[in-house]
Homo-oligomer: A and B are copies of this chain.
Amino acid sequence: MLIRLASAEDRAEIWSIVEPVIRAGETYTLDREMSEDDALAYWLGADKETFVAEENGAILGTYYMRPNQAGAGRHVCNCGFMTRGSAAGRGVARRMCEHSLEHARSRGYRAMQFNFVVSANERAVRLWRSSGFQIVGRLPLAFHHPTRGYVDAFVMYRRL
């Protein structure tokens, strides 16, 4: 699996990964009706470095990295990860996370923070914990899950 910077040619494949995640509305606090243009402007925004995970010419996942805050908080980065549904369970997210930790260190970041991990997204919580992240905050009922109603979200953090 090759993890590389995304380019404009990857937009259609990235959208094919991002769209079902946004439409499902179970894991990200993004408007479920978000347009393709808005979603790609967000995921590939100028404030971010965006990567894709490629295997045999197919893109299986994508992630972005950005400073989580400006000014005196810019030494902590934030990332978002999405895996193609059909590639679930193959370790794509874990590989992207490992890549992101290494990349973040090379950029001089001192920590990585996830601002909003939906507690019901157990697979993600398990993966981030096993990747060295700790739950450092719990936001009570901060996410309106489409089938479970209001559920907590976690702030997760690890030093680099």
Contact = CB atoms under 8 A, between A and B. Distances in A.
Interface of A: 25, 28-32, 69-76, 110-111, 113, 115-116, 136-146, 150, 153, 155, 157, 159
Interface SS majority for chain A: strand
A72 B22 CA distance: 11
Contact of A116 (B29, B69, B116, B139): B69
Given A29-B69, A71-B28, A140 B155 contact: no
Contacts of A142: 69, 73, 76, 111, 113, 157
Given A32-B72, A110-B141, 20 more contacts: A25-B71, A25-B72, A29-B70, A32-B71, A69-B142, A72-B143, A72-B145, A72-B146, A73-B142, A73-B143, A73-B144, A111-B141, A111-B142, A113-B139, A136-B137, A136-B139, A137-B155, A139-B155, A139-B157, A141-B159
